[in-house]
Amino acid sequence: MDVCAMTDEQRILVTVKEAKMAKKILQRMDEKRKLYRDAAWLYQFEAYKGFNPSAVRSFLEKLDKKGVIEFMVTVEDIDKWGGVFRFTKDGEERIRTELKEISGC
């Protein structure tokens, strides 16, 4: 489906700020994959770099609700928002597709 024709409910990335955060998170995840391959997870604090932490937290909550990312829950059952996360395979593809298509809107 054409991202430019999608409604806000269908789209994952609605604002320019969300697109910028998604791009940076993807870049950081790609860097981790160079070292850890498929075992790469990103610490939440790493996603905050360069952005307002509360904005990133809200964005991560949105991505989690849409099934784009998954959080690792530890044995101690810590609060997932202080933990680590990674993109789901489908979620990462959707984000990358949206970023590419948004650039052409």
Q: What tokens does 45 get?
A: 């604090």
pLDDT at residue 84, as a whole number: 86
* 74 DSSP 8-state letter: P
pLDDT at residue 83, as a whole number: 76
pLDDT at residue 75, as a whole number: 47
pTM here is 0.81
The residues, any chain, with a CB within 8 Å of residue 18's CB and separated by 6 or more, are: 12, 59
Query: Using CA atoms, how far apart are residues 36 and 46, in angstroms rounded to an integer?
Result: 16
The three-state secondary structure class of 76 is: coil
Identify the structural domains of the chain with CATH numbers, from first to last: 14-102 (1.10.10.10)
pLDDT at residue 18, as a whole number: 95
List the pLDDT tens digit at each of the 105 positions of the chain.
565 666 667 789 999 999 999 999 999 999 999 998 877 888 888 888 889 989 998 999 999 999 999 988 654 555 555 678 999 989 999 999 999 998 876
Nearest to 52 by CA among 86, 20, 29, 88: 20
